[in-house]
Structure 1
Amino acid sequence: MTVFVYLREIEGQTYTGEVKEKEKAKKQYQKAVSTGQTAGLVKASGRKMEKFTVSVNIAANSNVTFILTHEELLQRKLGQYEIMTRVKPKQLVQHFEIVADIYEPQGIAFLEAYGTFISNELLPLVEKTVSDKKAHISFCPTLDQQRKCLGCEGTLIDGDFFIKYDVNRAETIGDIQIVNGYFVHFFAPSDLPRVPKNVVFVIDRSGSMSGIKMKQTKEAMLAILNDLAEDDYFGIVLFDSSISTWKESLTKATKENVSKAQQFIQGITVSGTTNINDAVMKAVDMIMKGKRDKKVPERSVSMVILMTDGMPNSGESSVPQIQENVLLAMGGNMTLFCLGFGDDVDYSFLDVMSRQNKGLARRIYEGSDATVQLQGFYEEVASPLLSEVDLRYPDNLVNSLTTSHYKQLFNGSEIVVAGRLTDYSLDNFLVEDFIIKGQASAQEWDILYPEQEYIFGDYTERLWAYLTIQELLSKRSTGTAEEKGNATAQALEMSLQYSFVTPLTSMVVTKPETDEEPEGHFVPQLMSNAWTHSRISPTNFVDGDPHFMIELPEQEDALCFNIDDRPGTIFNLVRDQLAGILVNGQTIGDKKVAPDGKVNTYFGRFGIVHQGLGVRLEVTTHDITVQVSTLTHSDFAVTKDRSLTVTLRDSVRFVVILHKVWKQHPYHQDYLGFYTLDSHLLSPSVHGLLGQFYHGVQFEVKDMRPGEVPEKPDATMLVKGQELTVTRGWQRDFRWDVKNGENIPCWFIHSNGNGLIDGNHTDYIMSGLFKTV
């Protein structure tokens, strides 16, 4: 998993990158560049989330430090996790450091660290300290140690630095981590017997494969054939514009048969065009015939491995038609792996086709190590342990699961499943009806995981979100038109919510146009020592008479409603029992009733509680009282007597704005506005007049029509299973301009928000400022 949190230091100030929809981020970056400002842009390269491009523009006479942080889900391959850092500075570096700290609750089984560029002289500089659960690795050469020769400017640092390790694995069916209402299940069983496989190698021999490509393919195939187990069955299909086979049916991988197949590989010649469709169809027919004739073991895994460097240009050449043909022919009975050579191959075609058939695609880069790349890929899939792996969890405890059914599990790999718990406080559950096929017999386990192993921060939630987004992006290329549209919308929404740089979003960082922030403006602070959350979250607030505003950036719209009740009424705005957070507000009225007889009410007093920190904060138009406090200066800030920023550690961030009214005004008096700036770490069970909307609300507006006021049309809103008549209007947002405010368009829900809020507004009336009832 790769996610960027992008910071920069400009003239002593730190600015945080913001994830936006891709085109919006691009426009913001280009605008900054066109005016000569310092700016940065991080975007995904291609259709996946593993490669990124960073663009940087530095203003003249500026001194800038860029800090780039990423999170990654390490993929277990061949029995180990690998962290690779490409190090190609192309110059001597004054302060060069590679430092890694690893913590694994299960314990570290083994660890090695090395660099492809590290000579015998540099080897002692690779320092490793490994204990039971922790490891520290460092490589810090001095300027002189980096030099190719004494006094020269060339550097020895040019290559890749690897850290490889694995964790201890108990004899169970996996490890489950539960944190803050989300879980992740790592499944990598050990000591299982391999399952025999039926594999057909489909090799492109068209003219474009001539020279080094075919030479390396032959070298790799000779080694791969040697690695076949004697209980495996295999076939070889060659294709250009025509199709040929080594044998017409699958053959057992005896030593004699493997030797004959290697001789056949040695004699391959290249010519002609590329008929991928018929070649794959032939491979499918060979496997299906082997199954029908019961020539292959009943409990075996079937796969096709396609190796090509080009576009289909012979026979069936329509990419969508080929994909459909292959999907129908395979019918879920086998897996397709595609290996694409070089830069000219239509990789997206191979990628989609392989994923449609429960496999994967891999690009083989041209170079001296292409043979090693081919062999390395085959080693990953050479030893299937299980097929039709189905991980099942209690329906009443778990929802929003990522993919939990896998076609097969290969030796040395790992299945990762994440999900959301219906009970936020749950720290254990039962894995039920755990069924695996493909061994000597199907097995079932009931495993209870009673202990919570700690994963730092909200990693489990972000991992769940990442895996979910990956699956949604996959549906964009393999589903129906409607499924693609829905998947795109959901993936974009989650990418923005969790600040992931994806093919739909980019991260942009620009310097504000002025260093002087307006009154009431909030300057972001670091949310934790490890990394900064950079997100677009809805800003919900209550201000004025009292006007409630629910901003929904993912729908590019807002909802609003008023609450009318007598002065002195205390309402619950935010309540999160799991996070221990409570915000109540008490209304005040005008000094006296105006001539028109209308009684205006506003919020004049707020009570804020954080049980975990032992904080009880009371804010009025005159005073700020902290009754019990462990707040630090970074948790608490007052700006120019007009706004109060309250940061309750990593939980939530509020701003209370004081509206001053002319003291001689005959009716009105000072009042307060309450704004939520960051609430994403609150639990899904958060509620209150504002809190219930912190995790968004879905609505649809239709049938727009003229309203009582020409510039305020009416419409019908579908929300929470109801149809409401709503009116287009606006409310003032005073976050950035305390004096004048900014008009924010919104759909106004009448009658104290009935139909939008849960229940009735009177359900939120509290008996005291710090009470929950």
Structure 2
Amino acid sequence: HTVMTSVALNRANTSQEIFFDVELPKTAFITNFSMSVSLSPVKEKEKAKQQYEKAVSSGQTAGLVKASGRKMEKFSVSVNVAASSNVTFILTYEELLQRKMGKYEILTRVKPKEPVQIVADIYEPQGIAFVDAHATFLSNDLLPLVEKTVTDKKAHISFSPTLEQQRKCPGCDGTLIDGDFLINYDVNRAQSLGDIQVVNGYFVHFFAPPDLPRVPKNVVFVIDKSGSMGGRKIAQTREALLAILNDIHEEDHFGFVEFDDKIVPWKESLSKATTENVAEAIAYVKRIVDVGGTDINAAVLKGVDMLIKDKQANRLPERSVDMIILLTDGMPNSGESHLPKIQENVRSAIGGNMSLYCLGFGNNVDYAFLDVMSKQNNGVARRIYEASDAALQLQGFYDEVASPLLSEVDLRYPDNTVEFVTTNHFSQLFNGSEIVVAGRLDFQVQGQASAINWNVVYPDEEYIFGDFTERLWAYLTIQQLLEKRSVWHLVKAELCQNYFAHHCHCTLVSPAVDGDPHFMIELPDRNDSLCFNINDKPGTIFTLVRDTETGILVNGQIIGDKKIPPNGRINTYFWRFGIIHQALGVRLEVSTRDISVFQDSNRAKLLWSDSASLKAPNVDLVVSKDRSLTVTLKDSVKFVILLHKVWKKHPYHQDYLGFYTLDTHLLSPSVHGLLGQFYHGIDYEVTDLRPGEVLEKPDATMFVKGHQLNVTRGWQRDFRRDVKNGENIPCWFIHNNGTGLIDGDERDYIVSGLFKTV
């Protein structure tokens, strides 16, 4: 939260232009800007220009906003101030500080024409580990003017030189204050789980566990040595690679692929970073020269192939991280040059098994192409500016990713306590960095939560800049949506290729119902699913499976929340199932409380609190404590029922069950029910993919059972592998209680009792 204030006075007898120029961090967002010059609002660009020109010609006050910059964004306002008038500018911006190399950095670009005063107050609930303040313009005379006061959780830094102290020389107009004022600090990290702040129902989770051992990495540097890299660029690349090789960890493995229109690997396999191998690599790097065209496609694929083959041959550590670092300055003009095809080839080859980092050198590179390709492959892109410090830029980026600590990080939160969160899966966590997740809670949490097998108590709400957590959630959400938008056209192309090119006729093997109640019909042949919800009042009993030929019946009863939540929407869940096999004389009643099985005149009762198994002539039951029940009917179908336990003190939600079908091939063709009707296949066609109301959830048109339906691409949770957290499964969501997909109306499946057919 930064406030910049500037006051200017026009002492002349005529109107004059006054300029307000400031530079902001690229990740910052402006929350307020005001000028005490006019009550007229800021207009759109063209109208503002016209108003500005008209106002200047008539001697009145006007303003215009512009933007530019390399590491910073420039915010400029040019204002025509009336004679003997003054103007006050107040700019407020906020930013999420990104932890890099073990510290946060607050950067203030200072280019004043008047006396400057900088004051910074830092508050960190975890406690402040260290604070350092310095500037690129500090001389020995100015250094004592930087005052720093640090307590346990607070720090105060100020820099307030007088006008005379700022001058380059006595009586000179020039100022010494021209450059960057930087504050670096870090916080104490006593808990491995991280720090969670809760305000007004929103939370933010900062995750940077201390004292984790680094994970060995396997990295292939793919280096563009085409003709356009000649001169200073290739020299700076060599300089950066030499510095990287001198710092590489001995347990790491590395390789090089240099390319122009030909692909030349240093060696066919990666080399361990022993003293001998590093020395050999240094000699190799010194010989890299520029020549030829640019075949990015073949070069990256070669790097991927090297990593895959070395992994398959067990030449790399089992617990290690694979990455490719591509450095290029131009456009592909040799081999495959169609950019979407290159991205498709690279993503297909990587298959989510390694990270691709793309460094775009100079002004001629297609940075958008590299940015999308990196994001598709668990990496990031970075622009390397043509300047004297280009080698330091390259080395600095490598230092950020040089020490991976964790891979495939999932931050998970208690069932039914979080309404929504920002991205909570991260491919890697590097030493000195931090993961930040924000979200909204279902209720005001003050209790015990569990995540990654660690425990943390949610703190009492504290004042941390009012609605800070809500704004941070909104900021992260917007940033992540913008990233997704950058790859939208590729997502669209992939969906069209995978789902719309053919009519689909698939065998459905795993229909399921779980959650609120979410019905999911899995399509294994296409690695996809259909899904729909059924909403009704608590207590309603639905027929899920009914096979009159084999005598199998499965009914389920729904239960509601304990009371109406603040949003007014009552969630319903299945809490009880009745299963009958008439031919075998078996009847089961499964609830969130216990499990009862009846056969002939015998009855057995099992509890969820114990792991147990029951083997009877016609049925086998296996209970996994507080997790699942597997039901195997003799020479027939197999079901799995999952128990979802909710925090006992949750003000709204209750325990519920999920129902999954594992084996359906012995059911007859006449099987029906909300799930049963899908056991033997379905014909459908999906066309007309288009953006939906939510950016990452496109809409489409589905033709099924003679109906034309509007469907939405979304996600459902499959809890079979992880009963607590589940995994996201992509599916086509059919609205309005599955109308058009299910036969008839959802009311047709309501029955009067748990073991009734009508």
Q: TM-score range by the shorter chain?
A: 0.5 to 0.7
Q: Which runs of 5+ in 1 are unaligned?
A: 18-23, 435-443, 487-575, 579-684, 686-696, 699-717, 719-773
Q: Which moved more, 1:54-63 or 1:344-353?
A: 54-63
2:80 is aligned, of 40, 58, 63, to: 58
- The match for 1:25 is 44
Corresponding residue to 2:92 among 69, 81, 84: 69
Paired residues of 2:196 and 2:459 also in contact (CA < 8 A):
no
Other-structure match for 1:420: 440
Task: Please give the alpha-carbon distance, in whole angstroms, between the structure 2 residues aligned to 1:171 and 1:86.
Answer: 34
SS in 1 for 2:415: coil
Per the alignment, residue 478 of structure 1 pairs with 487
Instruction: Answer whether contact 2:193 2:455 (CA < 8 A) is retained.
Output: no
Letter in 1 for 2:458: Y
Alignment pair present for 1:98 and 2:139 = no
Q: 1:86 aligns with which of 109, 115, 129?
A: 109
Please give the residue correspondences for 1:575-594 in structure 2 after superposition, counting only pairs within 5 Å.
none
**Per-residue Cα deviation, 1:744-771 (whole angstroms, up to 9, x for no partner):** xxxxxxxxxxxxxxxxxxxxxxxxxxxx
Q: Is 1:278 aligned to residue 304 of structure 2?
A: no
Contact persistence 2:66–2:74 (CA under 8 A): yes
> What does 1:120-135 correspond to in 2, within 5 Å?
120-135=140-155
- Deviation of residue 138 (structure 1)? 1.3
Cα shift at 1:147: 1.9
Indicate how the Cα distance of structure 1 residues 43 and 281 shifts in structure 2: closer, same or farther if over 3 A, else same: farther
Distance in 1 (alpha carbons) for counterparts of 2:72 and 2:179:
20
Question: Any conservation in 1 of the 2:198–2:458 contact (CA below 8 Å)?
Answer: no
Equivalent positions of 1:248-647 (< 5 A) are 248-423=268-443, 425-428=444-447, 430-432=449-451, 434=452, 444-480=453-489
CA distance in 2, matches of 1:50, 1:352: 22
| Cα separation, 1, equivalents of 2:490 and 2:131 | 47
Q: How does 1:684-703 map to 2 (within 5 A)?
A: none
Aligned residue for 1:327, secondary structure, equals helix
* Superposed CA offset, 1:203-248 (max 9, x none): 1111111122111111111111122111111110101111111111
Q: 1:162 to 1:312 in 2, by over 3 A?
A: same
Secondary structure in structure 1 of the residue aligned to 2:218: strand
CA contact (8 A) 1:394 1:430 kept: yes
Q: Aligned equivalents of 1:358 and 1:42: distance in 2?
A: 36
Distance 1:482 1:334 in 2: 20
Which AA in structure 2 matches 1:56? Answer: S
Partner of residue 535, structure 2: none
Q: 1:303 is matched by which residue type in structure 2?
A: M
Instruction: Give CA-to-partner distance per residue, 1:716-755, whole Å, 9 cap, x none.
Output: xx9xxxxxxxxxxxxxxxxxxxxxxxxxxxxxxxxxxxxx
Q: Distance in 2 between matches of 1:4 and 1:10?
A: 18
**TM-score w.r.t. structure 2 length?**
0.59
2:175 maps to: 155
Partner of 1:170: 190
1:5 maps to which of 24, 31, 34: 31
Kindly, what percent of the aligned residue pairs are identical? 63
1:44 and 1:50 in contact (8 A); partners too: no
Amino acid of the residue matched to residue 388 of structure 2? S
CA contact (8 A) 1:220 1:374 kept: yes
**SS of residue paired to 1:354:** helix
Deviation at 1:450, TM superposition (A): 4.2
Is the 2:52–2:64 Cα contact (8 Å) retained in structure 1? no
The 1:285–1:38 alpha-carbon spacing in structure 2 relative to 1, beyond 3 Å, is farther
Change beyond 3 A, Cα 1:387–1:482: closer
Post-superposition CA distance 1:463-509 (Å, at most 9, x none): 1011111111111121347879x9xxxxxxxxxxxxxxxxxxxxxxx
3-state SS in 2 of match to 1:164: strand
Q: Please, what TM-score do these two structures have when normalized by structure 1?
A: 0.58
TM-superposed CA distance for 1:280, in Å, is: 0.7
In structure 2, the partner of 1:688 is: none
Q: How many angstroms does 1:25 deviate by?
A: 3.1
Distance 1:295 1:16, change over 3 A: farther
Letter in 2 for 1:33: Y
Pairwise CA RMSD = 3.0
Give the 3-state SS of the residue equivalent to 2:245 in structure 1.
helix
The answer to whether the Cα contact below 8 Å between 1:179 and 1:452 also exists between their aligned partners in 2 is: yes
Q: Does 1:213 align with 2:233?
A: yes
Q: Check 1:243–1:378 CA distance in 2 against 1; reply closer, same or farther (3 A cut).
A: same
Which residue is equivalent to 1:600?
none
Paired AA for residue 3 in structure 1: F
Give, in angstroms, the shift of residue 34 of structure 1.
4.6
The 1:2/1:16 distance shift into structure 2, 3 A limit, reads: farther
Counterpart of 1:192 in structure 2 is: 212
Residue pair 1:403, 1:417 contacting (<8 A) in 2 also: yes
- Cα distance change on mapping 1:25 and 1:238 into 2, 3 Å: same
- Give secondary structure in 1 for the equivalent of 2:340: helix
Deviation at 1:361, TM superposition (A): 1.2
| C-alpha contact 2:445 2:458 (8 A) present in aligned 1 | no
1:476·1:483 contact (CA, 8 Å) conserved in 2?
no
Q: What is the distance in 2 between the residues matched to 1:226 and 1:428? A: 49
Residue of structure 2 equivalent to 1:682 = none
Deviations 1:139-173 (A, max 9, x none): 12222222222322222222211100001111331
Give 1:117's match in structure 2, choosing from 137, 140, 149: 137
SS of aligned partner of 1:400: strand
Cα distance, 1:193 vs structure 2: 0.4
Asked whether the 8 Å contact 1:184–1:418 carries over to 2, the reply is yes
2: CA distance between counterparts of 1:131 and 1:15?
A: 45
Tell me, what secondary structure is at the counterpart of 1:323? helix
CA distance in structure 1 between the partners assigned to 2:399 and 2:196 by the alignment = 27
Aligned equivalents of 1:38, 1:429: Cα separation in 2: 58
Structure 1 range deviating more: 390-399 or 257-266:
390-399
Aligned length: 472
Aligned equivalents of 1:40, 1:133: Cα separation in 2: 41
Q: Is the 8 A contact 2:150 2:156 kept in 1?
A: yes
C-alpha distance in structure 2 between counterparts of 1:222 and 1:264, whole Å: 10
Q: CA deviation at 1:5?
A: 2.8
What amino acid sits opposite 1:465 in the alignment? Answer: A
CA deviations 1:240-265 (Å, max 9, x no partner) are 11111111111111111011001000
Letter in 2 for 1:70: Y
Offset from partner CA, 1:668-693 (integer Å, 9 cap, x none): xxxxxxxxxxxxxxxxx9xxxxxxxx
Higher relative contact order (CA 8 A, sep 6+): 1
Say if 1:339 and 1:363, in contact at 8 Å, map to a contact too.
Answer: yes
Q: 1:79 corresponds to which letter in structure 2?
A: G
Q: Which runs of 5+ in 2 are unaligned?
A: 1-26, 496-564, 568-651, 653-692, 695-709, 711-758
Distance 1:185 1:307 in 2: 34
Residue 122 (structure 1) shift: 1.2
Letter in 1 for 2:104: Y
- State how far apart, in whole Å, the 2-side matches of 1:459 and 1:49 are: 25
Cα distance 1:221–1:447, how it changes in 2: closer, same or farther (>3 A)?
same
